[in-house]
């Protein structure tokens, strides 16, 4: 088979070597083969669990000239570092698509010296879905490692499940995507969704608001750089939109182990101003109270069965309309025909107030609410 390939090597532009030799393929075996195909345009070496011997001489000296290569697919090859990938890209000055789906790429030493591992500027499409990206430093480093990055697939990574706005309060997937957009200023498409000017505006202002919330929670004796150093785009965003609002808590400082420090001030208001059982006031709720306890407490204050009303937490934040979020369903396969532009009339709508229904459950309210003062609206069930 190999002999036949060598006879027609000048006319071969695409090679698929998936599951080659029982799924175990060494770099040297692959490189020696590629030397015979100087006109190669697309290489698919998926499912091979590429083996590299660290004691070998530098592989860059053995890498064949792949100056015409445009697409490189290395899905599910057990790759853990970008340094295991960049060897393929040396001299590949026409490469524009890099598929690393299903590997184990995550935080590594490369982020300490991104310039050393900079990939060719021509690489604009990168599939990093179903890897081990769980830290925002992974995202921030992409701009340096892939300076030409324009289209990115990131679904299936732990970052969509392990990032929290505050302890016990996770970001939604749409919020994670917005933060990715804000952290990568040159990104044009994320998870098959084209990023419009409106999308970028919303993402960057949302990101700036999150930074402002982190600065607001920062103790007075800690410098702001403790937070801003974690956000490389902070200065650029402030120059574009102005500094975020920083609201320091004016409450008297309590011993963190005291009861007062563990109470939430719930400002109660009724949705119906003509309600005879209307209760407007402040109720102090221990953070350890379950939502069952909260409903029971309000039920006694209102003299109303907890089965007859809902509790709505008005967060004071904004979020995209629900129908826009529903419109952006994740597409699992990378197909340019599936991309769509969300610049229609829907994206011109203003954001809506973010509200959270506090449904009866055993979950402590302190794991949902991260503020000392909240507004709870009481809505009667129809």
Q: Which run of H or of E encompasses 266?
A: strand 263-270
Query: Angle formed by the axes of helices 173-183 and 197-216, to 10°?
Result: 100
CATH architecture of 2-241: Alpha-Beta Horseshoe (3.80)
As a whole number of Å, the end-to-end CA separation of the chain is 74
Q: pLDDT at residue 293 above 50?
A: yes
Tell me how far apart the alpha carbons of residues 273 and 259 are, in angstroms, rounded to a whole number. Answer: 34
Cβ-count burial of 356 within 10 angstroms (0-12 exposed, 13-18 middle, 19+ buried)? Answer: middle
| Domain spans of the chain, in order of start | 2-241, 260-328+337-380
d(CA 40, CA 65): 10
Per-chain mean pLDDT for the chain: 76
Q: Can you give the pTM of this predicted structure?
A: 0.64
Pairing state between β 125-127 and 97-99: parallel
Q: Is residue 138 scored above 50 in pLDDT?
A: yes
User: Using CA atoms, how far apart are residues 259 and 144, in angstroms rounded to an integer?
Assistant: 48
Are 215 and 207 contacting, i.e. CB atoms less than 8 angstroms apart?
Answer: no
Per residue in 90-102, pLDDT (tens digit) is 777 888 999 999 9
**pLDDT for position 65:** 66
Q: What is the pLDDT of residues 323-369, one digit of tens each?
A: 455 555 444 444 444 444 444 444 445 677 888 889 888 888 888 88
Fold of the domain spanning 260-328+337-380:
Ubiquitin-like (UB roll) (3.10.20)
Q: What is the pLDDT of residue 178?
A: 93
Let me know if 74 is exposed, middle or buried by CB neighbors in 10 A (0-12, 13-18, 19+).
buried
According to the model, what pLDDT value does residue 124 have?
93
Q: Kindly write down the DSSP assignment for every residue of 111-166, as one continuous string.
A: GGSGGGGPPPTT--EEE-TTS---SHHHHHHHHHH-TT--EEE-TT-THHHH-EEE
């Amino acid at each position: 088979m190999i002999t036949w390939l060598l006879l027609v090597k000048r006319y071969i532009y695409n090679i698929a070597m998936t599951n080659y030799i029982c799924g175990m393929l060494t770099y040297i075996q692959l490189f020696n083969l590629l030397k015979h195909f100087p006109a190669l345009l697309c290489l698919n070496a998926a499912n091979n669990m590429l083996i590299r011997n660290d004691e070998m001489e530098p592989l860059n000296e053995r890498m064949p000239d792949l100056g015409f290569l445009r697409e490189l697919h290395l899905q599910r090859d057990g790759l853990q570092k970008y340094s295991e990938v960049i060897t393929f890209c040396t001299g590949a000055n026409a490469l524009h698509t890099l598929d690393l789906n299903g590997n184990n790429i995550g935080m590594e030493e490369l982020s300490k010296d991104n310039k050393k591992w900079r990939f060719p500027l021509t690489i604009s499409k990168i599939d990093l879905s179903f890897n081990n990206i769980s830290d925002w430093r992974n995202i921030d480093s992409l701009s340096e490692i892939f300076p030409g990055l324009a289209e990115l697939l990131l679904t299936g990574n732990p970052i969509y499940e392990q990032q929290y706005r505050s302890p016990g309060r996770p970001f939604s997937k749409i919020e994670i995507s917005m933060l990715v957009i804000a952290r990568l200023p040159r990104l044009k498409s994320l998870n098959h969704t084209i990023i419009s000017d409106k999308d970028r505006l919303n993402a960057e202002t949302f990101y700036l608001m999150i930074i402002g919330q982190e600065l607001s929670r920062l103790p007075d004796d800690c410098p702001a750089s403790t937070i801003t150093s974690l956000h490389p785009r902070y200065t650029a965003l402030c120059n574009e939109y102005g500094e975020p609002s920083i609201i320091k808590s004016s409450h008297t400082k309590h011993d963190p182990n005291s009861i007062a420090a563990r109470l939430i001030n719930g400002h109660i208001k009724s949705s119906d101003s003509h309600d005879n059982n209307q209760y407007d006031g402040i109720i102090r709720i221990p953070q350890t109270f379950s939502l069952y306890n909260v409903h029971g407490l309000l039920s006694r204050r209102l003299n109303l069965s907890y089965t007859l009303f809902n509790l709505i937490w008005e967060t004071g934040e904004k979020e995209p309309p629900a129908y826009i979020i529903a419109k952006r369903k994740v597409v699992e396969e990378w197909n340019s025909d599936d991309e769509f532009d969300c610049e229609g009339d829907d994206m011109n709508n203003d954001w809506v107030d973010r509200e959270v229904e506090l449904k009866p459950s055993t979950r402590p309210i302190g794991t949902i609410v991260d503020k000392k003062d909240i507004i709870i609206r009481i809505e009667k069930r129809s």
